[in-house]
Structure 1
Amino acid sequence: MLILVTHSPLLNCHMSHTARYVWSMYRFDLVADLYMLCFDLFSDYHKKQNTLAALHKKTLDKNPDEFYFKMVSSQLKDGVHVANKAKGTEEENTEEQRKVMRTQDIRYVEMKRVAEGKKIERLKSELHLLDADGKQKNGHTFYLDSKQEVADFDLASHLDTAPELVDRVYNRPTLHTLESQTIQGAVEPLVIKKLARQRKHQYKILSQRIDREKKMFVIGQKIQTRKDLHDKNKKVKVSKETVNASAVYKFEAKRKR
């Protein structure tokens, strides 16, 4: 609340000439500041009222049957206009990615990605998933002397194993081992089915962890890209940001002195 002290003879009688001059100038500044404050408030109020009146008049004069191109790509939801996404446009970020990028740092995301990678490798070793994506498939080359030997070549007899075990790269016993030793492990159908279900469940967990590791990698790339954009060098956007990849920018090479 602004209190303005007016001229008082009782106040002036106790002041020197210089003090009365300073007080009068201070009082003038207060009056000027109060005037400018009131002027700004009144101007802002009338400006807003004029804007509302113009919008109200525009609404009354609007033809309800008039067509606007924005009508094609927008609709009314709960009284609010919402723009529809054009067909073929990809969503840049999922809600999960936006939440992680808002709340977590790139070091945390990288730590979680590395942890998921270690768990994936451990699961792969437990499941003997030697031909998984990201690893080169094993190859075995046999050298023969003639084309006839190549035509008559039998892989099972050459490896001395059963034809059903040829595709295995692990636990591939020879025929002599199969004949001389008893089968170890589960042989009952119920136990075999139970083990198959457990193995299927492990593969499902492995697939989920691989998917999670890929998501963490993409989120880390997007956070790093946003940090790189703070660089003052000139940059050109090469590709847009998508759900599965961060945006790609080409930065101008700057010579270091």
Structure 2
Amino acid sequence: MSSLRNAVKRIAHKERSQPVDRQHLGILEKKKDYKQRAIDYHRKEDRKNAMKQKASMRNPDEFYFGMHNSKMEDGKHKSNEDYRNLSPDLVKVMKDQDLSYIRMQKQKDTKKAERLQAFLHLLDSDGVGTGTHTVFVGSKKDAREFNVADHFGTIPEMAGRAFNRLRKSDIEKLAQRKLGGSSTSTSRGGNDDVQVDDSNDNSQKQQQQKKLTVDQLNKLQRKERKLAKTLAKARSGSYKELESRRDRADQMKTAEDHLVTEKLVAGKGRKRKVKAEDDGRPAQYKWRRKRLG
């Protein structure tokens, strides 16, 4: 039945039109038209109320420097832009100051990058050393099983260093030095029993001394690992700073080229453009040759 009811033709309900005696007022307003008009009316009303509140709370002693450069005409603010019209001489002086500042900043960044490069032991401008350390082994099996730390006699955390790479013997010496040296031997007695006891005491002290040395060595190795991580992090930050300094120096060089080109173009002499701006670089001009004298 539901499908049959939907198939039956229904009456088309038409919207009521404007009565004849009110046709001079236009088309009859529907709800969607009223809603649009009401929203616009309330938006304007809220704006006026906000302006009234702002005017009522205004400080009579309020002052802005922009008041000197604007005035009211027909109830509207009009900015006086005469102060923005700078003379050509003043513009030239300002551009010269900009050029001097850019050159100073470029020089500072370049010097800072050079100091960082010397500190990081860089050998070329790319930041990658050209020196290599070649180790020769007897067979391919030895090459596959080659261990850098064992070959140089250091800990794995220091194997990748090209400088300040301590050997295990040096680390052990540092541990023994911090420990304070070997213990003094005790005097032996007259009978055999006392001598046996003294030898046992000495062996126990030596074992304790060796144990303390191993503990001290492990502690020192942990400190070395922590120091290696700290140095690696500091070196990474220094490399990032070096890269940013170089990029900024290049940007300053580009800005300097633009200002120098503008200064030369604004000068005297007949010239023509031979190459347009390309990839941020300034345009290139060619001046007509002029005979001197």
Category of TM-score, reference length = shorter chain: 0.3 to 0.5
TM-score (norm 1): 0.40
For CA contacts below 8 A with separation 6 or more, give which structure has more relative contact order: 1
From the two aligned structures, give the one with the greater helix fraction. 2
